Structure 1
Amino acid sequence: MSNTFSDAASGFARAQRAVGGALRGLGLPHWMLRWLALPAADILAAALAVALTFMGFTMIGSAQAAMLTWNSAIPPAVTAALLISHLVLGLYDTTGHGSLERLRTRVIGVLATPCLTVTILAAFGMAGGPAFLPISLASVVAGPIGLLLEVLVRPFLIRHQAWGSPALLVGSGPSAVRLAERLQRQPALGLRPIGFASDARVGESMMPVANFGTIADAARLHGGAVAVVAMTSGVTTVDVARLPFRRVIAVPEDIGLPTLRVNFRSLGGDLGLEVSNLAQAEGQRWVKRCIELCIAVPALLVALPLIGLMVLMIRLISPGPAIYVQSRIGFHGQPVAILKLRTMHRDAEGLLAELLARDAGAREEWNRYMKLTRDPRVLPWIGDFLRRSSLDELPQLWNVLRGDLSLVGPRPFPGYHIERFSTEFQKLRESVKPGLTGLWQISERSNADLRQQEAIDTFYIQNWSLWLDLYIVLKTLPAVLAARGAR
């Protein structure tokens, strides 16, 4: 079964390489790839959507709907609607738009494309009556296919500098260094640091990019780049407004505000920042709960046979209960009984204490991560497989049904782990329910130390929205299949 997970992950990686190889074979310059790759992917997505809709109606025996789908006017109408909606929504601008923002925009596009397709066909008197269903279905199907094709194409475009735009860092000092490193770590943001410029006198710089001298010098050399300004104490808004660049992105120093739910307001000449605290909105919580139940109930029914098989295998390797209950800290700091498939020996705590007493390296790793790379407590074969695949957490779907956990939220930690965090952060975590999956699982997982764990959970809680939860759910399966950082 472990081969199934690795095969799925390697299969997706092979698909990405195949797409990259096909694009490389075209020999197009990077500027052409930048402007044509995503529209071409949408044209292919529209064609595949029409073909799949036709095949679907054919398989269920609806000949009339199948023939209407294959009508000569429908494929170009769906294609035109998809291209127009994505162009208007700004999806072909890959500069400075993160994956979550692009996902949200694509979902809006899925809703807009059918309406636009019907409008286009209605202009030619072809959208009425029985044609409405196949037209709408083909238009909706085109959205997810387009998203998948973007995911396949993006790594190739990033490697060939055809994703986003070159970025010139304006500023110096630690804030500018952190900003440059962050952009380099997250190439999907579409801001490729090429160098930095500053009118201040700077000595030996720790910047991981070239020094282009003054801002005026840099503008003469790279006037087409996007200026990304590190708003330190020495940089004013007047300085930003006068920069000789067409596109300028000002990045303030950490002010402790959410980054995903901030709207700008003009208050009589002053700039206001409106922050929506959705995590405390009762209506949003009810919507989230309804969505969780719609996902968790069928997921648990599907998972029950697999859980039964895993229980049998655990019992064969290690006698005793195959499912155990562990107390974790939940909503409002109350303890919750979390269900898990047992992946450790029954005398796990004794084995851990013995190892930590004699191995200084293991003690250091435990104190930093609260995890061990080589954990003597883990059952041979089955324990490692369950932990790497996260299948040991399937019984927690029952906790989601009970309301102990959310489907998405901060990772539920035991008390000894929570105590290692600051009091302020503990209170922040207690303001929301922990989750079966979360931002930690699609990013660092067990590779995150205590400081990184605090940063990841703080970001999630401060920026929570239904869109962020949807993004995490969609990213969880690839992260689990790849088993990144799992222990």
Structure 2
Amino acid sequence: MSDMFPDAVSRYAAGQGRLGGSLRLRGVRRRALQWLALPAADLFAAQLGILLAFTGLSALADPLAPPLQWEAPLGAALGVALLAAHRLLGLYDTTGHGALERLRLRVIGAVAAPCLAVTILVAFDLAANVTLSSIILASALAGAIGLLLEGLLRPVMIRHGAWGSPALVLGSGAAAAGLAERLMRQPELGLRPIGFAADCVAAEAPMPLPNLGTVAEAARSHGGAVAVIAMTGEMASGEIARLPFHRIIAVPDSGNLPTLRVNFRSLGGDLGLEVSNLSQAVAQRRIKRGLELLITIPVFLVAIPVVLVLALMIKAISPGPAIYVQRRVGLHGRPVDVLKLRTMHIGAENLLAELLARDPAARAEWDTHMKLAHDPRVLPVIGDFLRRSSLDELPQLWNVLRGDLSLIGPRPFPDYHVARFDQDFQQLRMSVKPGLTGLWQVAERSNADLRRQEALDTFYIRNWSLWLDLYIVLRTLPAVLRAQGAR
């Protein structure tokens, strides 16, 4: 078992070992953390949002005047409005909601909260000293603060077993084993697998979880768990409704179908799935282009002096041009001349060829990642700093302004990198414009091998939306600041 899922099992087992005693000794605390942490964070975010909004509006109106005082009625109204909106949207149910979906629901909650707050203030005749602008600004700030607080609370709640619910994986075989491994690898989904149950066990497929017996036996001992089913035909769809569990999540083998933006349709008793391919929608592309220009233009102006200083530092260490042009594969396979600050010695390709010829370990690492952890081509001090901080990519803001790249999208690769992928994935990748940053850069930086790069880029292209781009933008800065895995 551990040979088949070494990383997932070791990490998950270690986490369960740490949890075992705490769940028995501090069950009340765990439940309090599970039920109260997020609502308390939202109440705090509402009050802090009001304080910041009033301070900002007061400074704009009269910088010399004392700041407006915190209003108790508005604080109570906005706090109740946020709690009500988030409860109705299901944000306090942490079971089975991914980070992207939770981001979308929080934005919706921040938009709905001012309406609810105004309704409460008017109903109780408390709106005399409150302006609409203060409510809207306070709600927006509270939404941003609440999102940040949730990001800080999530790992704490996961560590103490207060995020999500225990889950039983129903079924056996490779599909069920893979599903269990994915759930263990992504605890933020809120499905904590405790074991698997199946009436007919596939002997040839070991599971990374303990066997809890038949479905009926597992239901008797763990009836409060969420049943998660890998739908592979082993269990008929009609049997799902008869399962003795309150919550059941069926995970179909989606193949190449998108997993986001899928709506269910009842077609005369048949279940239909409606999928929107937004990556090919002209209107969505235009909106994306307009938004990325709004972001890129001011960032580009700020980046110009930074690039000049870094270029002088490069030239002080290594003779030759500080900015170089590398040809990459762009939209529809057209070549794109990408700008970068030079982080390598002149003649770097010859150095690489010599290293790979004499070092089998380096050859194996290059074949897997198309990068090297200890690359002899990189300039001393400045080269490693630029690559780890991603500041060497700053000149590519000009590529975004020109329209060669998007701000968000699959990273543009050289020909030799693209050639390592199969033809179907190459065609899929070339169907969208490459980007300055992308999903696998913020998720795994340079740690992703070719298989993982393909999986993450495929997910992004098939599930693209403005929400997904916003999610990547919000994760880009923390990923760059950590500089973990960057090469």
What TM-score results when the alignment is normalised by the length of structure 1? 0.92
Deviates most, 327-336 or 418-427: 418-427
Residue 449 of structure 2 aligns with an amino acid whose one-letter code is: D
**In 2, Cα distance between the equivalents of 1:101 and 1:65?**
42
Shift of 1:442: 1.2
2:44 match: 44
CA contact (8 A) 1:57 1:65 kept: no
Residue 83 of structure 1 aligns with an amino acid whose one-letter code is: L
Moved over 4 A (4+): 61-69
**In 1, Cα distance between the equivalents of 2:484 and 2:458?**
21
2:121 match: 121
**In 1, Cα distance between the equivalents of 2:136 and 2:329?**
46
Q: 1:165 to 1:218 in 2, by over 3 A?
A: same
**In 1, Cα distance between the equivalents of 2:153 and 2:368?**
37
**In 1, Cα distance between the equivalents of 2:59 and 2:27?**
39
1:165 match: 165
2:19 match: none
Residue 252 of structure 1 aligns with an amino acid whose one-letter code is: P
After superposition, where does 1:180-329 map in structure 2 within 5 Å?
180-203=180-203, 206-329=206-329
Q: 1:130 to 1:44 in 2, by over 3 A?
A: closer
What SS does the aligned partner of 2:274 have? Answer: strand
Residue 476 of structure 2 aligns with an amino acid whose one-letter code is: T
CA contact (8 A) 2:39 2:83 kept: yes
2:353 match: 353
Q: Deviations over 1:6-48 (max 9, x none)?
A: xxxxxxxxxxxxxxxxxxxx99521121111100111111111
What SS does the aligned partner of 1:480 have? Answer: helix
- Alpha-carbon RMSD across the aligned residues, in angstroms, is 1.8
1:177 match: 177
Q: 1:66 to 1:249 in 2, by over 3 A?
A: farther
**In 1, Cα distance between the equivalents of 2:438 and 2:63?**
44
2:110 match: 110
Question: Percent identical across equivalent pairs?
Answer: 66
Q: Deviations over 1:100-134 (max 9, x none)?
A: 00000001111111111111111123336862222
**In 2, Cα distance between the equivalents of 1:462 and 1:423?**
17
Q: Deviations over 1:64-121 (max 9, x none)?
A: 9987662331111111111111111111010000000000000111111111111111
Shift of 1:56: 2.2
Q: 1:68 to 1:27 in 2, by over 3 A?
A: farther
CA contact (8 A) 1:49 1:139 kept: yes
Structure 2 portions without partners, runs of 5+: 1-25
CA contact (8 A) 2:58 2:68 kept: no
**In 2, Cα distance between the equivalents of 1:160 and 1:65?**
47
CA contact (8 A) 1:117 1:139 kept: no
**In 2, Cα distance between the equivalents of 1:436 and 1:382?**
21
Deviates most, 131-140 or 211-220: 131-140
**In 2, Cα distance between the equivalents of 1:129 and 1:33?**
36
CA contact (8 A) 1:168 1:225 kept: yes
What SS does the aligned partner of 2:458 have? Answer: helix
What SS does the aligned partner of 2:169 have? Answer: strand
1:389 equivalent in alignment to 2:402: no
**In 2, Cα distance between the equivalents of 1:73 and 1:415?**
62
**In 2, Cα distance between the equivalents of 1:111 and 1:154?**
23
Q: 1:399 to 1:128 in 2, by over 3 A?
A: farther
Q: Deviations over 1:361-406 (max 9, x none)?
A: 1111111211111111110011011011110001100000000000
Q: 1:481 to 1:64 in 2, by over 3 A?
A: closer
CA contact (8 A) 1:388 1:486 kept: yes
1:339 match: 339
What SS does the aligned partner of 1:97 have? Answer: coil
**In 1, Cα distance between the equivalents of 2:63 and 2:329?**
57
Structure 1 portions without partners, runs of 5+: 1-25
What TM-score results when the alignment is normalised by the length of structure 2? 0.92
**In 2, Cα distance between the equivalents of 1:118 and 1:137?**
13
1:408 match: 408
Q: How many residues were matched structurally? A: 462
